Structure 1
Amino acid sequence: MNYHLITTALESTWPKEGTNVLFLGEWCKLHSKKDFWSNYNSITLPYHWDENGKLYKDYQSLKVVYEKLLIELTTHLNLIHGENQTVAYWRIIIGPWLGYFLHMLWDRYESLRIAFTNYPITSVTLVSIDEESLVPNDMNDFYRFFVSDLWNQNLYQNIISFSHSNKTIKKEESFVFPKKNLNGNKVSPKEVIKQFIYWIFGSNAKCDSYFLISDYLGIKYSFLLQLKLGQFPKRFMEEDIPEFETNQELRKKLAIDLGESSFEKIVSKLIPKQIPRSYIEGYKSLKDHPSVKRWPLQPKIIFTSNSHIGYDLFKIWMARKQQNGSQLILSQHGGHYGIGKFSFHEDHEVTTSNRYLTWGWKDRQHKNVTPSVCVKYGNQKKIKWDRDGDLLLVQNSMPRYSYWLYSSSQSSQVLAYLNDQFSFYRTLNSEIQVKSNVKLYPQDYGWEHERRWRESFPKIQILDRKSNMKQILKTTRLFISTYNATTFLESMSLDIPTLIFWNPRHWEIREDAKPYFDLLKEVGIFFETSLECANEVNHIWNDVETWWYDKKRQSRVTKFLNQYAKKSNDFITELSKSIEVSSFVSH
């Protein structure tokens, strides 16, 4: 049987109903369109990262390609911009985008390779796409693109045209990716006040020794920290950067050629087409942007928890200052760090920083990794939870098309994750089900979580995605965390009775973390199946307080939190010791 290949949910590329089709993945089949795509004689390609161990193996192989590309791009970017900068300099600036793009391109390439190798594909439809409209302005802008059907359709088309052009059918239909809406978002009064505060406290910093941005401390503790460091408090926010025009002649100078495998040849071809304008057309403008002239001229310390990934204006400034002797201190900004088996973000942050502050855990392989306090919860007091309250089931989601790599569910594995959630809820006693609330992930990514939940459980109580977590926790009797991120660290730090479950094949943890999760297993907090966790809920529901405050269980929780979300009664003093200039002199 021959097949027409469908690569995305973009229906303009689909053949007429009744055709034999191969769906490249579950991301093609929107749940609300089931009545439509069910009319095809179809099979769906199994997801390649369902193979046990392949995600980690691929990540290790891609690290080699990533380093080769960094060296190549360093040479070309230096020539284009008249610079003489190091690989370390350009890693800070382009590294996050390059890692994301490389990981995504490999996933699309690998799916196509497997499909064409194992199935008799005779046709695939290509549409006309304005590729220039798909060039992101900067890293923050890039997030709009890679979750979309059109961007991914274009990526698949480029790969297919490179290796299987004889199978293509060109359709006379044109697409342009919509421009970013620069005027559509209304600014709330609260945001106006926030911007005013940033303006007042974000000036006259030229002589400052410390520069803090996106520190995750909140304004009160950020100011206290700066006072402790002997500096008048400043507050800086991420600003929108200018929109740049694509210059194709300039991009032709980015003629990289890894010249080995077919994948590396495709990477070499696509990077000049896809690299954000902030690194090519806008680089010199950002280097001399008016905003950076308000920032310190010779900072001794640069500290951030979050601006080092997406904020290109800051990254260009930060890279230059680090080259000139400033010490770059990055702080862990969420869960998974120190726990997950691997993470591109963690690898990038440890590699680029002079000092990397964790929330308590150690890394024997990297001397710059320094255990500190949890910047998000290390200063927060316990909250009073409701002994007769509800169960809170906190949900995750992931993009339909995979993005950067870390040990987690990827792409269509979200469906297996959802099945686990449904099994958990179905196993709960009926009196617990009626007292259960589902908190969906802020982004849905087209999986239609709420619709799927309501189809399976019409009476399910689903909270508003915008609901304030702190307020919800006050009415919660039992918190259920279902993925490796920040959620369970927050709930346990706030003394909310917590249970955790996830699929260990998708959410793999590193060897150093296993003893700490074994501690939670021993006292019935951590589970590797949804059914075991649900049975524990049924068992403890009528007396959660006694269960949670059991002496042995609390001892295990404290030991776990000291490792992964450390608190301190002298939070500011302890944090300042990891940041102050003298700590580098002494080392």
Structure 2
Amino acid sequence: MLLVTTPDQRFRDANREICYLGEWSRPFPEQDAESAASLPYHWDDRACAANDFDYLRKLFERALAACAAQLNTIHATSYDNRYWRILIGPWLSAFLDISFDRYRCICMARDSGRIDRCEISVLPSYSWVQLRTSDFYSASATDRFSHDLFGRIIRALRPFPFDQQPSTSDPPPPESSKTSSTKARLRDLCVQLAQRAAPHRFIVMTSDVFSWKEKLKLHAHLCALPFISAAPRDYPNAPPSEQLRSALRVSLGNSEFERLVSQLLPEYFPTIYLEGYKRLRTLALELFPKSAKLIVTGAAQTGDEFFKCWTAEQLQTNSKLAIVQHGGLYGTNAWCSHEYNEVHSADRYYSWGWQDQHPAVAPLDAPKLIGIAGKIKPANKGALLMVLNAAPRYSYRHASWPISTQYLSYLADQVKFIEALPRAAAKHLRVRPYPLERGWEAEKRLRARLPDLILCGQQSMYDELNQSRLFIGTCNITTYLEALAANFPTVLFWNPFHWENRPSAAPYFEALRNADILFNDPLRAAAHVDKIWQSPLDWWHSSKVQEARRCFVERFAKCSTDWLSNWVSALKSLAQS
């Protein structure tokens, strides 16, 4: 059979029996007269997925140490591993997770014994080198990226015969962040004046933690000047250097995958950490204060290369880094690569209430949830608002959520729920899709099964909640935490085999199940909605439901009226530690 690795029609032969590497490579709607076979997905074995997480984290630590040593030699520096963890850790973790996923997919094809041919197309060396981590994330979601990576793996392992075709497309260019508007120039001038007036700060907090209103309150109580970031600008770019990339080559082990990924690493290593590093460092030190006692961020530690470089420098002195949880899933999931990276990078990791064996984790009020009870109120005769999730077709970060093809099972559960709703309730249902299309054409798939489906999403989620009487959550991410924190009537359902909990979180989710807030089965969830939808508040305000909600919110969506004093106390304590 001819193996098809992506939906790219150029690499299919109408005269050959084909086999899809995975459901991501099957076009929608299916174009074949008879549906072709698809290989099973390796992480459908969720025990294997959990074990692979442990393996990949150990490999990450080895790879980080090896890269740190090589980068120190290349750049004539002597930074510790933590410096390089801050700078390259998010990229390195994603690169290993992605490479391992694609490798295991090819192993499944090899081990099936069904494949006798594959057509590949591989660009020249370093063609997929990206400027920065966020560009790598964007590229990895494309068919072209995965087709090329599958091709490189097939060419290296030779698991079955293949034909290599010349490539006819280039990788997407990195997104520009530069702006030259008058407003931006004025902002830069203000930043420069502030840097000169106060080069040494007690705290530098990025804009992704608090709203400006809460940020000003917090800084006033800390007697500290708020940090204003410079206007976005382009990152220093340079073409890949064969000499530097040869010097970056590392040996990560003797297994087939470890030998393979050692070869692949220089082919994908972002230029900003290698060819553009010296300029990155120079600019980063210009854009931020000379020193800061505390550095606090929610998401800049992943995608802001200037911030990451400056922070890594500051941590070589006496600065302390606090990373603040910025969404759901954290603290509840059985495994999560981005949580691992954040917790291991921080001096203090401020969770939304949960605790962990790692000493860096400390519970604190969630900035995102401050005052949420006053922002969201149910409308007695409003809609039933069902909020959907999305997942990329290709795995990119390893966590206990629906991975790759498992998203189709998630969509199937949504269809089951909607079809099971009696007509009286269904006519009030409004479905809010995920705001970004991530490759599965979810809306088209839902429309194909549910042509009368009423979609919403033109307004903010808070506005749509304020026009609704019931929130229906379908995934373990941020939205349901917002609803529960606001004490908004909520019904949840998801597949526990795709959203595994860590043992410490399991009792809290079980309490939600016992209170008929959370369901494993979409049909049971639909039956419950049918029972309570006309007056959800009558059910919602029962003592059993409220107690389960209160305990859950205290653990995973904490936000008290004393949030300001709690934050001031926590930051002062961290500064003195």
TM-score normalised to structure 2 length? 0.95
Whole-angstrom CA distance in 1 between matches of 2:410 and 2:182? 40
Aligned to 2:120: 126
Aligned to 1:358: 351
1:172 CA displacement = 3.5
Mark the runs of 5 or more structure 1 residues left unpaired by the alignment.
none
Q: Work out whether 1:420 is the aligned partner of 2:417.
A: no
What secondary structure does 1:462 align onto? coil
Superposed CA offset, 1:478-505 (max 9, x none)? 1111111111101112222111111001
Judge conservation of contact 1:77–1:254 (CA < 8 Å) in 2: yes
Superposed CA offset, 1:391-441 (max 9, x none)? 111111111011111110000001000000000001111111111111111
What secondary structure does 2:397 align onto? coil
Judge conservation of contact 1:214–1:306 (CA < 8 Å) in 2: no
Judge conservation of contact 1:377–1:567 (CA < 8 Å) in 2: yes
1:181 CA displacement = 5.1
Aligned to 1:333: 326
Q: Work out whether 1:578 is the aligned partner of 2:575.
A: no
Judge conservation of contact 1:133–1:178 (CA < 8 Å) in 2: no
Aligned to 2:429: 436
Residue 454 of structure 1 aligns to which amino acid in structure 2? R
Given the alignment, which residue of 66, 72, 92 partners 1:72?
Answer: 66
Aligned to 1:519: 511
- Which deviates the most, 553-562 or 322-331? 553-562
1:308-387 equivalences in 2 (<5 Å): 308-363=301-356, 365-382=357-374, 383-387=376-380
Judge conservation of contact 2:187–2:231 (CA < 8 Å) in 1: no
Judge conservation of contact 1:209–1:301 (CA < 8 Å) in 2: yes
1:18-33 equivalences in 2 (<5 Å): 18-32=15-29
What secondary structure does 1:211 align onto? strand
Judge conservation of contact 1:128–1:174 (CA < 8 Å) in 2: no
1:58 CA displacement = 0.8
Whole-angstrom CA distance in 2 between matches of 1:491 and 1:429? 24
Whole-angstrom CA distance in 2 between matches of 1:278 and 1:212? 24
1:262 CA displacement = 1.1
1:170-209 equivalences in 2 (<5 Å): 170-180=164-174, 182=176, 200=190, 203-204=194-195, 205-209=198-202
Q: Work out whether 1:398 is the aligned partner of 2:395.
A: no
Superposed CA offset, 1:519-567 (max 9, x none)? 2112110111111111110011122111111233222211211111111
What secondary structure does 1:420 align onto? helix
- Which deviates the most, 408-417 or 346-355? 346-355
Aligned to 2:132: 138
Given the alignment, which residue of 233, 252, 265 partners 2:259?
Answer: 265
What secondary structure does 1:463 align onto? coil
Aligned to 1:82: 76
The structure-2 alpha-carbon separation of the partners of 1:40 and 1:538, relative to structure 1 and needing over 3 Å to count, comes to closer
Aligned to 1:506: 498
Given the alignment, which residue of 458, 461, 469 partners 1:469?
Answer: 461
Aligned to 2:224: 231
Aligned to 1:246: 240
Residue 242 of structure 2 aligns to which amino acid in structure 1? Q
Whole-angstrom CA distance in 2 between matches of 1:366 and 1:536? 39
Whole-angstrom CA distance in 2 between matches of 1:341 and 1:402? 17
Whole-angstrom CA distance in 2 between matches of 1:177 and 1:399? 18
The structure-2 alpha-carbon separation of the partners of 1:6 and 1:550, relative to structure 1 and needing over 3 Å to count, comes to same
What secondary structure does 1:299 align onto? strand
Mark the runs of 5 or more structure 2 residues left unpaired by the alignment.
none
Judge conservation of contact 2:372–2:482 (CA < 8 Å) in 1: no
Whole-angstrom CA distance in 2 between matches of 1:40 and 1:551? 55
Whole-angstrom CA distance in 2 between matches of 1:150 and 1:579? 45
What secondary structure does 1:480 align onto? strand
Judge conservation of contact 1:409–1:506 (CA < 8 Å) in 2: yes
1:201 CA displacement = 6.2
Whole-angstrom CA distance in 1 between matches of 2:106 and 2:509? 38
Aligned to 1:456: 449
- Which deviates the most, 517-526 or 379-388? 379-388
Whole-angstrom CA distance in 1 between matches of 2:328 and 2:432? 18
Q: Work out whether 1:388 is the aligned partner of 2:386.
A: no
1:227 CA displacement = 1.4
Whole-angstrom CA distance in 1 between matches of 2:304 and 2:287? 16
1:257 CA displacement = 1.7
Whole-angstrom CA distance in 2 between matches of 1:216 and 1:314? 14
Aligned to 1:409: 402
Q: Work out whether 1:544 is the aligned partner of 2:571.
A: no
Whole-angstrom CA distance in 1 between matches of 2:276 and 2:372? 41
Judge conservation of contact 1:30–1:446 (CA < 8 Å) in 2: no
Aligned to 1:278: 272
Whole-angstrom CA distance in 1 between matches of 2:135 and 2:129? 9
Given the alignment, which residue of 126, 138, 149 partners 2:143?
Answer: 149
The structure-2 alpha-carbon separation of the partners of 1:254 and 1:521, relative to structure 1 and needing over 3 Å to count, comes to same
Judge conservation of contact 1:379–1:571 (CA < 8 Å) in 2: no
Whole-angstrom CA distance in 1 between matches of 2:209 and 2:78? 34
Residue 92 of structure 1 aligns to which amino acid in structure 2? I
Segments of 4+ in structure 1 off by > 6 A? 191-199
Given the alignment, which residue of 12, 15, 22 partners 2:10?
Answer: 12
Whole-angstrom CA distance in 2 between matches of 1:334 and 1:446? 23
Residue 553 of structure 1 aligns to which amino acid in structure 2? V
Judge conservation of contact 1:213–1:237 (CA < 8 Å) in 2: no
The structure-2 alpha-carbon separation of the partners of 1:232 and 1:259, relative to structure 1 and needing over 3 Å to count, comes to closer
1:197 CA displacement = 6.4
Superposed CA offset, 1:32-73 (max 9, x none)? 4x22xx147721001111113111111111112111111111
Judge conservation of contact 2:484–2:549 (CA < 8 Å) in 1: yes
The structure-2 alpha-carbon separation of the partners of 1:356 and 1:13, relative to structure 1 and needing over 3 Å to count, comes to same
1:237 CA displacement = 6.2
- Which deviates the most, 233-242 or 82-91? 233-242
1:261 CA displacement = 0.7
Judge conservation of contact 1:62–1:103 (CA < 8 Å) in 2: yes
CA-based RMSD of the aligned residues comes to 2.1
1:133 CA displacement = 3.6
Superposed CA offset, 1:325-363 (max 9, x none)? 100111111111111111111111111111111111111
1:234 CA displacement = 2.6
The structure-2 alpha-carbon separation of the partners of 1:51 and 1:181, relative to structure 1 and needing over 3 Å to count, comes to closer
Aligned length: 572
Aligned to 1:111: 105
The structure-2 alpha-carbon separation of the partners of 1:200 and 1:221, relative to structure 1 and needing over 3 Å to count, comes to farther
The structure-2 alpha-carbon separation of the partners of 1:527 and 1:196, relative to structure 1 and needing over 3 Å to count, comes to farther
Whole-angstrom CA distance in 2 between matches of 1:390 and 1:489? 19
1:507 CA displacement = 0.2
TM-score normalised to structure 1 length? 0.93
The structure-2 alpha-carbon separation of the partners of 1:377 and 1:198, relative to structure 1 and needing over 3 Å to count, comes to farther
The structure-2 alpha-carbon separation of the partners of 1:362 and 1:531, relative to structure 1 and needing over 3 Å to count, comes to same
Whole-angstrom CA distance in 1 between matches of 2:349 and 2:276? 29
1:175 CA displacement = 2.0
The structure-2 alpha-carbon separation of the partners of 1:181 and 1:584, relative to structure 1 and needing over 3 Å to count, comes to closer
The structure-2 alpha-carbon separation of the partners of 1:388 and 1:49, relative to structure 1 and needing over 3 Å to count, comes to same
What secondary structure does 1:273 align onto? helix
What secondary structure does 1:315 align onto? helix
**Aligned-pair identity (%):** 32
